Chains A and B, each alone.
Chain A
Amino acid sequence: MKYLDEFSDPDLARSLLRQIHAATTRPWALMEVCGGQTHSIIRHGIDQLLPDGVEMIHGPGCPVCVTPLSVIDKALAIAARPGVIFCSFGDMLRVPGSGRDLFEVRSAGADVRVVYSPLDALGIARDNPDREVVFFGIGFETTAPANALTVHQARRLGIRNFSLLVSHVLVPPAISAIMESPRCRVQGFLAAGHVCSVMGTSEYPSLSQKYGVPIVVTGFEPLDVLEGIRQAIVQLEQGRHETRNAYPRAVPETGNPVARQMLADVFEVTDRAWRGIGTIPGSGWRLTDRYRDFDAEHRFDVTGVHAAESALCRSGEVLQGLIKPHECAAFGRVCTPRQPLGATMVSSEGACAAYYTYRRVAG
C-alpha cells in the first residue's frame, strides 16, 4: 500500500543504519514512547541492528497496557449488569482485572461486543433503545478525538442510552514522570507520531529544554523509526537537545486544530493512574461537566472501585524501561499472550507480547 511499502525499503533502511553507525561514538539510551513503535522495533529487529551500546528502552505508550486495574474492574462491573451492552476495542477483552477479564464476563452471559470504532457503539445504542450501551473509551491523544466526537454525536442526536467509560491518558506528562524518576536512564525520546498528528508538536520543546533531552517526533514504518533514532543520536552526539519532527508527512506543527477544538470542548485534564506506574498528575482526560451525563462511572455509580495488582507481574518496571520483559520470571512460563498476567502481555503493542511473539529472549 502507498506510503507503507516505500517506508520499509530495505536499501534505504541499510543506508540509514550505516549512518546511525557512523554517527555513534558512545552508548546512548533512547526511549520510544509509543507501543506501535515498540512493536515495529522488535518485529523488524531494529534494536539488534543498532551500534553496540545504543539501547532502545520501551516506553509506556500502549493504552491497553497502562489502563489501571481499577478501571478494568469498573468495566467488568458495568458489563455484568443486566440490560447493559458493553462495547470495547478487541484488545481490552483479555486484559485481566483483579479477578476476571471481559471474555469471562461474556462467557458468564454478559453482552460484551467488540467494535472497530466508537461510532459503531453509538449505532448499537440507537438500534437498542431499551438497553444501556457503554463504550470503553481508552487511549492516548490519538484515540481521544474519536471518543470525543462519539459522545458529542450522542448528545446532538439525543441518544440517551449511551455512555462512555473514560480512561484517557496523555503523553507529555508521562515523559515528565519518566524524566523525574530517580532511576531514569533515558537520554532521548522518539515521540509518538500519531499523537502529534492530533496535538501537534508545541508541547514538546519545553520538555526538551527542561530535561535536556532530544525529542524526535517519529512514525511507525521501519525507515521512520530508523530516522527518529538517527536524528536523536546526531543531536546527542552534538550535545543538543531539541524537539524535531521526523514524521512531517503526518504531523503538521499545529496538529489537527478541528480535533483539538472538539477535545477542548469534551474533555478536561485530570490526574490519572497508570497501571504499574501509579498516579501521574494532570496525565489524563475526563469528560467535562457539560458531558457528565454521558460518563458511565457516574451513571453506574462505580466510582468507588479500587484494586491491587498481581504480585508476580513486573509490568510496572517494564513500562518504565527499568527491566526488559524477559527479565520477568513469569515471562513465557506462567505468563503468555493466551494466559496473560499483566496488560503488557495482552496488547500486541505491549512490550511483553512483542518480545513473546518475536521469540526475543535475550535483549
Chain B
Amino acid sequence: MCLAVPGRVVRVSVVDGTPMAEVDFGGVRKDVCLQYVPDAAPGEYLIVHVGFAIQRLDEESARRTLDEFTRLGLLEEEFGEVP
C-alpha cells in the first residue's frame, strides 16, 4: 500500500474548496487531490499515493540522473574497471 507512482496531470479543478486533478497513469485515469501540490498544471508529472499528490516529479532531475548513470557507464568502459 505504500507505493507511490508518477502520473501525468490531465486537467485540474476545485471540489468542495479543495484543488483536485484528473491524473493519467499509463492509460488509467484517477481523481487525485492536489492540496499538497496546489500549483500543478496539466502536462506535469506528480508522485501520487493513495489519491494524493505528495510531490512533483522533477523531469529535469530525472534526466540528469539518467545522464549520470550513462556517464558512469562510459567512464567504466573507458577505464575498464570491470572485475
Contact = CB atoms under 8 A, between A and B. Distances in A.
Contact of B54 (A3, A22, A259): A259
B83 A12 contact: no
Interface SS, B side: mixed
A147 B55 CA distance: 16
Given A61-B2, A63-B2, A18 B51 contact: no
Contacts of B18: 149, 153
Interface stretch (A101-109, A138-146, A203-211): A138-146
Interface in B32-83: 33, 35-38, 45, 47, 49-52, 54-55, 57-59, 61-62, 64-66, 69-70, 72-73, 76, 81-83
Nearest to B74: A15
B53 to A, nearest CB: 9
A259 B64 CA distance: 26
A256 B72 contact: no
A120 interface: yes
A258 B55 contact: no
A22 B36 contact: no
Nearest to A34: B2
> Chain A interface residue count: which class?
35 or more
A121 to B, nearest CB: 11
A196 to B, nearest CB: 9
Contact of A197 (B1, B25, B47, B50): B47
A170 interface: no
B4 A91 contact: no
Given A1-B26, A142-B4, A258-B35, A197 B55 contact: yes
Given A198-B55, A249-B61, A259-B36, A36 B47 contact: no
Nearest to A37: B2
Contacts of B1: 63-64, 89-92, 139, 143, 347, 349
A341 B45 CA distance: 39
A272 to B, nearest CB: 16
Main secondary structure of the interface of A (DSSP, over half): helix
A262 B73 CA distance: 42
B16 A250 contact: no
A305 interface: no
A18 B76 contact: yes
A117 B51 contact: yes
A146 B52 contact: yes
A16 interface: yes
B31 to A, nearest CB: 8
Interface of B: 1-6, 8, 16-18, 25-26, 30, 33, 35-38, 45, 47, 49-52, 54-55, 57-59, 61-62, 64-66, 69-70, 72-73, 76, 81-83
24 contacts: A1-B25, A3-B6, A3-B45, A6-B62, A12-B69, A18-B81, A19-B76, A21-B82, A22-B76, A22-B83, A89-B1, A91-B1, A118-B50, A118-B51, A119-B51, A142-B49, A146-B49, A149-B52, A156-B17, A194-B49, A197-B55, A249-B61, A250-B47, A256-B54
Interface of A: 1-4, 6-7, 11-12, 15-16, 18-19, 21-22, 34-36, 61-64, 89-92, 116-120, 139-140, 142-143, 145-146, 149, 153, 156-157, 192, 194, 197-198, 220, 223, 227, 248-252, 255-256, 258-259, 262, 347, 349
Q: Which 8 A-B pairs have the closest CB atoms?
A: A117-B51, A15-B73, A1-B26, A249-B62, A197-B55, A249-B61, A22-B81, A259-B36
